[in-house]
Amino acid sequence: MSVSSFYVRFSNIYVDVDAGRIIEIKKNTKARITSHAIWVERLGVTSEPCTIVKDDVLLLDAWAFTDFSAWLYSTMSRPTVRKLETALSRHFAGCTEFNEVTTAICQIVFASKLKRPPQGEETYFVAKALASNPHGFAALAAAGADSH
């Protein structure tokens, strides 16, 4: 599969995707939009594999969402968890699976610190998130277990 470049109008960013994986994210700093970019209105997150374009939304799977979150965090001055949460909520406004997928990611990464394991529908979203990149999430879970 070849690299597809998306321009996300709401966020004013370019997202380059190859085979459902984010290759690069960059802020648009020019007045003109690159003509070869596929225009989408906004970002979304899904429990399914990355859906390139659906209803003018670039849907990211759980692993792509972690990539986007890391990029966003790296662009923030004086980042805090609260500021990141607010920024992510803004970028993914109106996304129906935002809470479920972000909760699943946190349950994977901090599994060793949870007071109770995922239950009911949570297990479905955890399994879907893990399926997006089992090795990547295993590494994040190991780092989460080592964190204070």
User: pTM of the full predicted structure?
Assistant: 0.87
Residue 51 DSSP one-character state: E
pLDDT of amino acid 1: 58
Kindly give the pairing relationship between strand 57-60 and strand 42-45.
parallel
Residue 113 has pLDDT above 70, yes or no: yes
- Distance, in Å, from the CA atom of 56 to the CA atom of 42, rounded to the nearest integer, reads 7
* Residue 64: C-alpha distances to residues 31, 71, 119 (Å): 27, 11, 24
- Closest by CA to 108, choosing from 120, 99, 117, is 117
Tens digit of each residue's pLDDT (9 = 90 or more) over 114-140? 888 888 999 999 999 999 999 999 998
The C-alpha atoms of residue 92 and residue 94 are separated, in whole angstroms, by 6
Phi, psi of 127 (to 5 degrees): -60, -45
